[in-house]
Amino acid sequence: MADNLKETRISASESSDSGNEEEPWIFYRDRPDWADIKPLELNEGPYPVVAIAYSERFKETFDYFRAVTQKNEISARAFQLTSDALNLNPANYTVWQYRRILLKELKKDLNKELLFVRRIIEDNPKNYQVWHHRRILVEWLGDASKDLRLTEIMLSSDAKNYHAWQHRQWILDTFNLFENELEYVERLLEEDVRNNSAWNQRYFVITKTTGFNEEVITKELNFTVASLKLLCRNESAWNYLRGVLKHHSTGLNGHTVVEEFCRFLEGEDCRVPFFHAFLVDRMEELMLREKSKCQELLPKADGFLQLLATETDPIRREYWLFTSRYLHSQFTV
């Protein structure tokens, strides 16, 4: 699937007023059309604490950018200057904000701007500013037709890219594009069942669409149990199971699918820490609900906690021993 998502990278010449990066760089001071601008140097005081060794190109570009913004110049050359500045530092919020002013004032083609920002996203996939700019462009256009595909491509390279997921969720929710999202999530889980972002996306989609009614709860529990039977040592799936059961009327206990699954794992002598922790939480829930069960369930819960502390999850030994002391303080008769 990932191979099918790979597309040709957008070159600088295809993007909005970005210039041709293959051409030799001409400093602004040597450009006749910039002769009227006096660059404004960054003033860090006489004794800068940590002076950054900027390249000459970087320093000059931002000196001219400061001069242009001080004049509040609205021009094609100022727009091109923002392209140069963003190619040097795409994380600079001030440059993006000024560029947005120029986009509106100069009535630039926003579809070309989508190409420009996509190129920068491809090179800087975890840069908040580029995704923010993309969102504003989509809002202005009122068209998200290109963005589900874009996020899918970016997630094929890094399936846990928080910024891509955040943008995708915004697109889905704002433009109501949920129709095929569960199928997409299932493809991701087929590729990597431990992909916590995909499990989170599944929960997001259901919350925003059908909600967790009884029919959906049963369907999701069956889906999760089937996944855990293939790979029980998957914390993401166990977390999802808990999330679904939050919406069930009897909590962690009582649902037929879960009861049968727990009996199955106990019969298999499952030694997975996530299962043992789940059993402890189920017992605590029952003890909170019915005090008469404390005498029977507290020793069982404590047995699993000791097993977690010494065998199945010793790296968190102190936490499990603390939990044991806590349960005793709450439920000892």
Q: What is the mean pLDDT of residues 298-309?
A: 97
Counting residues of the chain whose pLDDT is more than 90, the rounded percentage is 88
Q: What is the mean pLDDT of residues 125-143?
A: 97
What is the pLDDT at residue 14?
Answer: 42
Looking at the predicted structure, is the pLDDT value of residue 19 above 70?
no
| Contact (Cβ atoms closer than 8 angstroms) between residue 205 and residue 182 | yes
Summarised one tens digit per residue, pLDDT across range 251-274 is 999 999 999 999 999 999 999 999
pTM across the whole model: 0.87
Q: For residue 11, give the nearest of 115, 110, 97 by alpha carbon.
A: 115
What is the pLDDT at residue 43?
Answer: 77
Looking at the predicted structure, is the pLDDT value of residue 8 above 70?
no
Q: Which of 37-41, 47-51, 213-217, 319-323 has the lowest mean pLDDT?
A: 47-51
| Contact (Cβ atoms closer than 8 angstroms) between residue 324 and residue 306 | yes
Q: What is the mean pLDDT of residues 305-333?
A: 96
Q: Where are the domains of the chain?
A: 272-333
In sign, the C-alpha dihedral spanning 310, 313, 319, 325 is negative
Looking at the predicted structure, is the pLDDT value of residue 3 above 60?
no
What is the pLDDT at residue 225?
Answer: 98
Looking at the predicted structure, is the pLDDT value of residue 4 above 50?
no
Q: Which residues are catalytic?
A: 126
d(CA 220, CA 218): 6
Q: What is the mean pLDDT of residues 54-66?
A: 95
What is the pLDDT at residue 50?
Answer: 74
What is the pLDDT at residue 42?
Answer: 82
Contacts of 200 (CB under 8 A, 6+ apart): 165
Q: What is the mean pLDDT of residues 5-34?
A: 64
Structure tokens at 89: 């530092």
What is the pLDDT at residue 22?
Answer: 60
What is the pLDDT at residue 47?
Answer: 72
Looking at the predicted structure, is the pLDDT value of residue 5 above 50?
no
Looking at the predicted structure, is the pLDDT value of residue 13 above 60?
no
Summarised one tens digit per residue, pLDDT across range 203-243 is 999 999 999 999 999 999 999 999 999 999 999 999 999 99
Token pair 């890219």: residue = 161
pLDDT band at 46 (very low <50, low <70, confident <90, very high): confident
| Contact (Cβ atoms closer than 8 angstroms) between residue 150 and residue 119 | no
Q: What is the mean pLDDT of residues 128-157?
A: 97
Summarised one tens digit per residue, pLDDT across range 20-36 is 456 789 999 999 999 99
Q: For residue 66, give the nearest of 42, 45, 36, 48 by alpha carbon.
A: 42
What is the pLDDT at residue 20?
Answer: 47
Report H helices in 158-255: 162-175, 181-191, 196-208, 214-230, 235-245
